[in-house]
Chain A
Amino acid sequence: GENVEQHPSTLSVQEGDSAVIKCTYSDSASNYFPWYKQELGKRPQLIIDIRSNVGEKKDQRIAVTLNKTAKHFSLHITETQPEDSAVYFCAASRGREDDMRFGAGTRLTVKP
């Protein structure tokens, strides 16, 4: 089955700096790669996703890049703000209900 590894496990940046979180996956048939943000004590919420027919997707300060050959994808947050502080989870899936696998999470802290 799919295995997703996520790095780093913790990341601390100064407000205004960029943050990058990287994930690798094992199943070459995976074609859907979402990112979820979970604030402390809250539910995970989707912030951006990408499908394997595109290499990059942007939404304001957030972007995701996908390298299918190397089987890795990354989340980029620019101009970080304190409200970006949260745990971020990557995931990979073939698109079926039972095969989405999550990374272990990255705790991002943005220092004012």
Chain B
Amino acid sequence: NAGVTQTPKFQVLKTGQSMTLQCAQDMNHNSMYWYRQDPGMGLRLIYYSASEGTTDKGEVPNGYNVSRLNKREFSLRLESAAPSQTSVYFCASSQTRGLNTGELFFGEGSRLTVL
């Protein structure tokens, strides 16, 4: 099992450009997430998808859109990149049981720089 895979690993954009980060998981998990990691700020939730066909905003959704393409895949799109979106992005998945979320399994991360 590959777990959670995300692409690309590195990307440099100019302000105003768009791009999509791709994520796929092979653990048959219901829930998928996109986090950003900035120095001194931990991990902050951008968007999540509790199940196939649903997506919801997290803590810092502005400037992003997502698509839950199927149970395996969850993409993150920056329509018009800004320097404030320079960050490391992590995709994650988990298996929710009842009312409780389980362990988060993270991808390797995507380092995005916006000039």
Contact = CB atoms under 8 A, between A and B. Distances in A.
Interface of A: 1, 4, 6, 9, 32, 34, 36, 42-46, 49, 89, 93, 95-98, 100-105
Contacts of A6: 42
Contacts of A36: 104
B71 to A, nearest CB: 15
13 contacts: A6-B42, A42-B108, A43-B90, A43-B109, A44-B90, A44-B104, A44-B106, A89-B43, A96-B99, A97-B31, A97-B94, A101-B59, A104-B40
Contacts of B45: 98, 100
A90 to B, nearest CB: 9
Contact of A32 (B31, B33, B42, B101): B101
B42 A104 contact: yes
B50 interface: yes
Contacts of A44: 43, 90, 104, 106
Contacts of B58: 98
Nearest to A94: B99
Interface in B40-75: 40-45, 48, 50, 56, 58-59
B22 interface: no
Nearest to B35: A102
Nearest to A1: B59
A89 B39 CA distance: 12
Given A44-B90, A102-B44, A34 B33 contact: no
Contact of A97 (B42, B43, B96): B96
Given A43-B108, A98-B56, A102-B43, A93 B103 contact: no
Given A102-B44, A104-B42, A97 B50 contact: yes
